[in-house]
Amino acid sequence: MSPRTLYDKLWDRHVVRDNGDGTALLYIDRHLIHEVTSPQAFEGLRLANRQPWSVGANLATPDHNVPTTDRSHGITDPVSRLQVDTLDQNCQTYHITEFAMADPRQGIVHVIGPEQGATLPGMTVVCGDSHTSTHGAFGALAFGIGTSEVEHVLATQTLGQQKSKSMLISVDGKAPAGVTAKDIVLAVIGRIGTAGGTGYAIEFGGEAIRDLSMEGRMTLCNMAIEAGARAGMVAVDDKTIDYVKGRPFAPQGALWEQAVADWQDLHSDADAVFDKVVHLDATTLQPQVTWGTSPEMVVGVNQTVPTPESFPEPVRQEGARAALKYMGLEGGMPICEIKLDKIFIGSCTNSRIEDLRAAAAVVKGHKVAGNITLAMVVPGSGLVKQQAEAEGLDKIFLEAGFEWREPGCSMCLAMNADRLEPGERCASTSNRNFEGRQGQGGRTHLVSPAMAAAAAIAGHFVDIRELSS
Amino acid sequence: MEKFETLTVIVAPLDRSNVDTDAIIPKQFLKSIKRTGFGPNLFDEWRYLDHGEPGKDNSQRPLNPDFVLNQPRYQGAQILLARENFGCGSSREHAPWALLDYGFRVIIAPSYADIFYNNCFKNGILPIVLDAETVDRLFRAVEAQEGYQLTVDLEQQQIRTPDGEVIPFEIDAYRKQRLLEGLDDIGLTLQHADEIRAYEEQQQRQRPWLFDQ
């Protein structure tokens, strides 16, 4: 057999029917479900009198709408409540495993999949959410789908797919201290642009990627979609297998041994050919901060906000002008002089235990600056929250003046009560800085957890590498 | 799904690149559990001067007179002319639902985000890709002439302009057929149920842990 990429191997493993024209019917091993993109799919199933094809392949949790404050009285917003209740009812009707709001295992769907071992190497993982690319960190083929496809997966356990082109993004050399997975992926998006990966499945490789922990790899793959690629992935290695071992949904005993043997092949062959290869030098990277309204509008923390004239193409100049106006910034301003109003540490990108540890390490012994009106930490799941509390991280945050919340998507997209007011400026560990994403008129700067924490303490952006030295 | 038939309709130009699905339909409207009713909130933050919420009477809200869809000359438009990377961001199918509910059946742009592109076909919307130069030319033509209409003929894979120019476009044969016939994907896939079962049996032998749940 000719050498294959990891993507080729994952694709080949799941072909139910090859249509011979670059499209195929692919089998879906794992389907994750949340409350926003599933109600219309279940309704479609019901109207057509269909049943889920494989009930056990599904795992559900409410995350987008859930309050992150006291939940003892349920959800106040009736519209949000109806959507969460609808998920509960659908899961009951069809016997789908759900970690409901009161369950300690509830959390952001892309945090709980890996946490439970429901995401395994070699799987196809889909969810009605674009950040499903997260699960590619496990050497899985994982991508976001729309609601019609959610219904299709429920009814048939398959999806008709067009095979993507393949792209290798090799991040070479060691990343300097203070440069995290978030900074690497923001730098990648800055390089190739938000449409740079459109039509591609991206494999991340190179020393700086191999050096990342599994949680770092999840952060990285999570944002593949912000580069336009539906799927991002990293080859399986010992870290992958160690992470999965012993998790509730992971295979045990003899099946575990058999699975581990099967996963050894989940990497690109040495001489596999990619449609496109991009190299990035990790050794020169800085912590990254976005300045505009698209994740590709990003610079190093020691740089200045670019001027529109610094872009060669008229379309990008115009984009930069509109972004600066929306963001209330001037070209030429040093990033470190940007003052903030709110701090958000959370989201499917950066709400896992290592993220909270990194932020707490910066915060410890300090107070949130006077100009920060709200600094909040939203753990990615109930279990992450428990773990953080066991380590005393909640106390570090609370003593510094942060709020310590219940798990959910929260202010990443502001579907619940957590949001920015018009004109407010936020350092956020989330994934999108689109206009209005965190609340109408809100201004988002995407950063790593340590950078967000440092900004909370200083009241403006600071280079975390200077704090540690 | 409604069959796609040849249209000759008004074109509305949305001259912005990277229009994301948050802009197409802001998140507060994603709380609906229905597929319809999103049209009045399409491009909500650009279209209205106040902040929209589900349940608000949209007919009473102040319109942004500068936003293209609010201009009288573009009322009734069923083709949206857009710039590159249209529909980027979230996977929400509410974006094509909102476009469809508003009345758009065709989008013309140089490029689309993958998930959005896919979602359009599931809802009877035809997203046409044309090169940036042609799109640019169409923008100028639309803006120059009030009431500018284009004919979109999916069968022939052609756009026809008022002055008789024919602009061909590419589309995957399978998707074209589905749009023309208004076919249900799930029904088509279930015709292969035996193949799905055969695949599962083979996997069950080779990778039993995938079914041990």
Residues in contact with A41: Cβ distance below 8 Å, sequence separation at least 6, in sequence order? A128, A147, A148, A150, A151, A154
| Inter-chain residue contact B111 with A315, CB threshold 8 Å | no
ipTM over 0.90: yes
Which residue of A36, A145, A194 is in closest CB contact with B85? A194
Structure tokens at A91: 């899961």
Q: How many CB atoms sit inside 10 A of residue A19's CB?
A: 12
* Selected residue of B21, B31, B125, B203 to mutate for chain A interface (largest A Cβ count, 10 A): B31
| Inter-chain residue contact B90 with A129, CB threshold 8 Å | yes
How far off is chain B from A39, nearest CA to CA, in Å?
A: 5
Chain B's closest residue to A199, CA to CA, is: B114
Nearest to A62 by CA among A116, A125, A109: A109
Annotated binding site of A for [4Fe-4S] cluster: 348, 409, 412
Do B148 and B171 fall within a single domain?
Answer: yes
Which residue of A156, A251, A414 is in closest CB contact with B186? A156
Annotated binding site of A: 348, 409, 412
- In tens, the pLDDT along A195-215 reads 999 999 999 999 999 999 999
**Chain CA centroid to CA A457, Å:** 25
Contact A452, A347 (CB under 8 A): no
DSSP annotation of A364 = T
How far off is chain B from A370, nearest CA to CA, in Å?
A: 29
| Inter-chain residue contact B89 with A130, CB threshold 8 Å | yes
Q: How many CB atoms sit inside 10 A of residue A254's CB?
A: 10
Residue B113 inside a domain? The answer is yes
Residue B213 pLDDT more than 80?
Answer: no
- Structural domain including B199 reads 183-213
| Inter-chain residue contact B113 with A195, CB threshold 8 Å | yes
Mean pLDDT of chain A: 97
* Selected residue of B88, B183, B192, B201 to mutate for chain A interface (largest A Cβ count, 10 A): B88
Do B203 and B173 fall within a single domain?
Answer: no
**Which residues in chain A have their CB less than 8 angstroms from residue B30's CB?**
36, 64, 415
Residue B139 pLDDT more than 50?
Answer: yes
- Reported as a pLDDT band with limits 50, 70 and 90, residue B183 is confident
Do B88 and B193 fall within a single domain?
Answer: no
**Which residues in chain B have their CB less than 8 angstroms from residue A144's CB?**
91, 115
The CA distance from A122 to A125, in Å, is 9
DSSP annotation of A421 = P
pLDDT in tens, chain A (469 residues): 799 999 999 999 999 999 999 999 999 999 999 999 999 999 999 988 999 999 999 999 999 999 999 998 899 999 999 999 999 999 999 999 999 999 999 999 999 999 999 999 999 999 999 999 999 999 999 999 999 999 999 999 999 999 999 999 999 999 999 999 999 999 999 999 999 999 999 999 999 999 999 999 999 999 999 999 999 999 999 999 999 999 999 999 999 999 999 999 999 999 999 999 999 999 999 999 999 999 999 999 999 999 999 999 888 899 999 999 999 999 999 999 999 999 999 999 999 999 999 999 999 999 999 999 999 999 999 999 999 999 999 999 999 999 999 999 999 999 888 999 999 999 999 999 999 999 999 999 999 999 999 999 999 999 999 985 4
Residue B77 inside a domain? The answer is yes
Q: How many CB atoms sit inside 10 A of residue A413's CB?
A: 27
Residue B1 inside a domain? The answer is no
- In tens, the pLDDT along B48-96 reads 999 999 989 999 999 999 999 999 999 999 999 999 999 999 999 999 9
**Which residues in chain A have their CB less than 8 angstroms from residue B27's CB?**
413-415
Chain A's closest residue to B208, CA to CA, is: A255
| Inter-chain residue contact B33 with A39, CB threshold 8 Å | yes
Residue B53 inside a domain? The answer is yes
Do B65 and B145 fall within a single domain?
Answer: yes
How far off is chain A from B122, nearest CA to CA, in Å?
A: 7
Return the CATH number at B133: 3.20.19.10
Do B206 and B142 fall within a single domain?
Answer: no
% of chain B beyond a pLDDT of 90? 93
Which helix (H) or strand (E) is A143 found in, with range? strand A141-144
- In tens, the pLDDT along A65-92 reads 999 999 988 999 999 999 999 999 999 9
Domain A6-276 shares a fold with domain A289-468:
yes
Region of B120 on the Ramachandran plot (φ > 0 left; ψ -120 to 50 alpha; else beta): alpha
| Inter-chain residue contact B22 with A17, CB threshold 8 Å | no
**Which residues in chain B have their CB less than 8 angstroms from residue A29's CB?**
210
Q: Strands A141-144, A124-127: parallel, antiparallel or unpaired by DSSP?
A: parallel
| Inter-chain residue contact A436 with B26, CB threshold 8 Å | yes
**Which residues in chain B have their CB less than 8 angstroms from residue A319's CB?**
17-18
| Inter-chain residue contact A415 with B30, CB threshold 8 Å | yes
A362 CB-side CA count, 13 A: 26
**Chain CA centroid to CA B148, Å:** 20
Give the count of domains, chain B: 2
- In tens, the pLDDT along A397-438 reads 999 999 999 999 999 999 888 999 999 999 999 999 999 999
* Through-space distance between the first and last CA atoms of chain A, rounded to whole angstroms: 52
Do B112 and B205 fall within a single domain?
Answer: no
Residues in contact with B86: Cβ distance below 8 Å, sequence separation at least 6, in sequence order? B18, B19, B107, B109, B111, B112, B113, B116, B127
The CA distance from A25 to A157, in Å, is 10
Structure tokens at A81: 């409540």
* Selected residue of A29, A58, A198 to mutate for chain B interface (largest B Cβ count, 10 A): A198
| Inter-chain residue contact A25 with B189, CB threshold 8 Å | yes
Residues in contact with B163: Cβ distance below 8 Å, sequence separation at least 6, in sequence order? none
Can you list the alpha helix ranges (DSSP code H) found in B109-208? 114-121, 132-144, 173-181, 185-190, 193-206
Say what the pLDDT of residue A468 is. Answer: 58
| Cβ–Cβ pairs < 8 A, chains A and B | 177
Say what the pLDDT of residue A69 is. Answer: 94
Say what the pLDDT of residue B1 is. Answer: 77
- In tens, the pLDDT along A90-131 reads 999 999 999 999 999 999 999 999 999 999 999 999 999 999
Q: Tell me: domain A6-276, CATH 3.30.499.10, correct?
A: yes
* Selected residue of A147, A293, A318 to mutate for chain B interface (largest B Cβ count, 10 A): A147
Do B132 and B195 fall within a single domain?
Answer: no
**Which residues in chain B have their CB less than 8 angstroms from residue A48's CB?**
186
| Inter-chain residue contact B93 with A21, CB threshold 8 Å | no
Q: How many CB atoms sit inside 10 A of residue A348's CB?
A: 27
- Which string of b and e fits B45-58 if b means at least 16 CB within 10 Å? bbbbeebbeeebee
Say what the pLDDT of residue A315 is. Answer: 82
**Which residues in chain B have their CB less than 8 angstroms from residue A256's CB?**
209
Do B133 and B46 fall within a single domain?
Answer: yes
Which residue of B23, B51, B207 is in closest CB contact with A435? B23
Which residue of B54, B89, B190 is in closest CB contact with A434? B89
Do B202 and B122 fall within a single domain?
Answer: no
Residue B122 inside a domain? The answer is yes
Structure tokens at A48: 């057509």
A13 CB-side CA count, 13 A: 25
Which residue of B22, B54, B207 is in closest CB contact with A79? B54
Residue A119 class from Cβ within 10 Å (0-12 exposed, 13-18 middle, 19+ buried)? buried
Do B188 and B106 fall within a single domain?
Answer: no
Write down the domain spans for chain A.
6-276, 289-468
Chain A's closest residue to B193, CA to CA, is: A156
Do B104 and B20 fall within a single domain?
Answer: yes
| Inter-chain residue contact A151 with B186, CB threshold 8 Å | yes
Which helix (H) or strand (E) is A92 found in, with range? helix A78-94
Residue B104 inside a domain? The answer is yes
Do B82 and B162 fall within a single domain?
Answer: yes
Topology adopted by domain A289-468? Aconitase; domain 3 (3.30.499)
